[in-house]
Chains A and B, each alone.
Chain A
């Protein structure tokens, strides 16, 4: 894969659509804000997929940041959105550093399932210690001020949407920079051949830990944003189904590129919102089937498909790497 951002036109097109969407169709604004929040978490999962590792527990970091924002907002009697986001990222990174020290010793199924176990521990903590966490009812998140200004709901949601869009674009650029930096390249070498990486004198654990903390920070940013946008946090934020959803979206969008996170999250949220009503009983069945089809027939996801349509020949070489 020569360049992760090789096809910029898709991103430009989507961003243009996103900018006009709330003006043309105001009803989509909240949905899009949630999709943007999710795409940040998916981006975190993609970072790890670049190292060939899949986590079934990244909802842990999503939930830690979300509850962090809730506690902060409640203790300050409203809170400030910037503080919510910063606290979310810091809390998720700090936990990731501790959990990561242990988890980066493992690969593949162990990596995935240990993450899952960590998130299940937090999930049952949220459920059982209800006198702290509100139990399965969760906690409400008061609407925070924006740079000290208290806003009405409509204005606030408007700012939240465009703010989220900026955050996502910033995160995409930053993650792309990370993956093309020497550290990011080393992380991707864990997928190709970890033993050779170690023969070069690089500690693959330390490299993976850096990627792990970055991926958790992205999940934390997404979680804090989601909590602020929804106004409520529940233990479901930490549930394995949510972690599975992140992984699903990453594969759907295309785990080979950072753009896959945004494309996948938008496609997923729209289909879920408008089609799930017709298939509510078999939603997981649909997800599972799509996942199988994508893995077996379109391993580079939507981004890969659009590239293949746009450019028939050169992409085949990429796909066959």
Chain B
């Protein structure tokens, strides 16, 4: 493996990790507050990608400025999170918090099945490709390799901004502090007058929007195909489990680990590409069952 391939693997891994992080951090945020691991999370990623690619294709064909691709991604992500994520929490998940864990998982699994077909009904099975945003930023050359600025600079910057924004948002803003309070101790938070139901709804919408943003950003780099949501939910779960449930910074570091591991596999042993994230996860969980950054929880009798 020469220097150029090495650099290429690193760049691939980092840009991929940025996308995985956005999805995984939404998943871990939702779990931290709602205590429900949302199997339908990958669907938000896929729907975000589909919305961006199809709307983008339509407005660029109508002759609008290609720079609109960037605001479009944010608008699409927020819309998907609010219009699809919002009702799911409000009308469905809010009814199942008292059910046993296994049924909660199955409910989100049912939502996932429904959303998979919803995508196929709306967008069909033909792959969509809309790379305006990618082309708009051009390419850069480092260490003798030429790479798209979108993947090399833009995606990692967005991921870091989201990470910092989430951290500051949770610590400094009122809504963020309410979310933190409910995460720490739901009953105590309700007792002092926090509207937990509203906090649940807001958290779910934010988490779903982050997954949709991941999809929106990914749509510029790859074709949008059926089944991309299923792949992503398993991968982002691997990230979240390896990091420890509810760990935001941990998710970033683990996403980087898994992204790099996967991209090196592509160059070294391509058959292993799909397996590497799981091998990393199994390896970590074997040694630290609570994840790399997870704390040990007290058990209640």
Contact = CB atoms under 8 A, between A and B. Distances in A.
A302 B131 CA distance: 49
B107 interface: yes
B117 A282 contact: yes
Contacts of B237: 113, 116-117
Interface in B90-124: 92, 95-96, 99-103, 105-107, 109-114, 116-118, 120-121
Contacts of A110: 241
B117 A284 contact: yes
A128 B106 CA distance: 30
Interface stretch (B158-166, B194-202, B253-261, B275-283): B275-283
A302 to B, nearest CB: 16
A282 B122 CA distance: 11
A289 interface: yes
A195 B109 CA distance: 28
B208 interface: no
B224 interface: no
A39 B283 CA distance: 34
A108 B105 contact: yes
Given A52-B102, A54-B106, A291 B286 contact: no
A289 B107 CA distance: 10
Interface in B260-301: 271, 274-275, 278-279, 281-282, 285-286, 289, 299-301
A109 B100 CA distance: 12
Given A105-B289, A110-B241, A117-B238, A52 B113 contact: no
Interface of B: 37, 92, 95-96, 99-103, 105-107, 109-114, 116-118, 120-121, 230, 234, 237-238, 241, 271, 274-275, 278-279, 281-282, 285-286, 289, 299-301
Contact of B106 (A52, A251, A282, A283): A251
Interface residues of A, number: 46
A81 B103 CA distance: 38
Contact of B109 (A107, A125, A247, A296): A247
B207 to A, nearest CB: 15
Given A128-B274, A282-B117, A295-B107, A117 B112 contact: no
A283 to B, nearest CB: 7
Nearest to B108: A109
11 contacts: A56-B109, A117-B238, A117-B282, A128-B274, A191-B100, A281-B121, A285-B118, A288-B112, A288-B113, A292-B92, A292-B111
A28 to B, nearest CB: 27
Interface in A29-48: none
Given A54-B105, A108-B102, A285-B117, A291 B110 contact: yes
Nearest to A250: B106
A102 B286 contact: yes
5 residue pairs, one from A and one from B, having the closest CB atoms:
A288-B113, A288-B114, A285-B117, A291-B110, A109-B37
B contacts with A: majority SS: helix
Contacts of A22: none
A188 to B, nearest CB: 13
B289 A112 contact: no
B102 A291 contact: no
A contacts with B: majority SS: helix
A287 interface: yes
Contact of A52 (B100, B241, B285): B100
Nearest to A244: B109
Contacts of A106: 285, 289
A124 B110 contact: no
Most B CB contacts (10 A, CB to CB) among A56, A109, A113, A287 go to A109
A217 B106 CA distance: 24
A292 B110 contact: yes
Given A52-B102, A117-B234, A281-B121, A288 B110 contact: yes
Interface in A117-143: 117-118, 120-121, 124-125, 128-129
B275 A124 contact: yes
B251 to A, nearest CB: 15
Contacts of B278: 117-118, 120-121
Contact of A295 (B37, B103, B275, B289): B103
Contacts of B111: 288, 292
A18 B149 CA distance: 64
A289 B237 CA distance: 24
Most A CB contacts (10 A, CB to CB) among B109, B271, B279 go to B109
A251 B106 CA distance: 9
B112 to A, nearest CB: 7
A13 to B, nearest CB: 28
A53 interface: yes
Contacts of A285: 113-114, 116-118, 121
Contacts of A247: 106, 109
B61 to A, nearest CB: 27
Interface string A191-203: 1010110010000
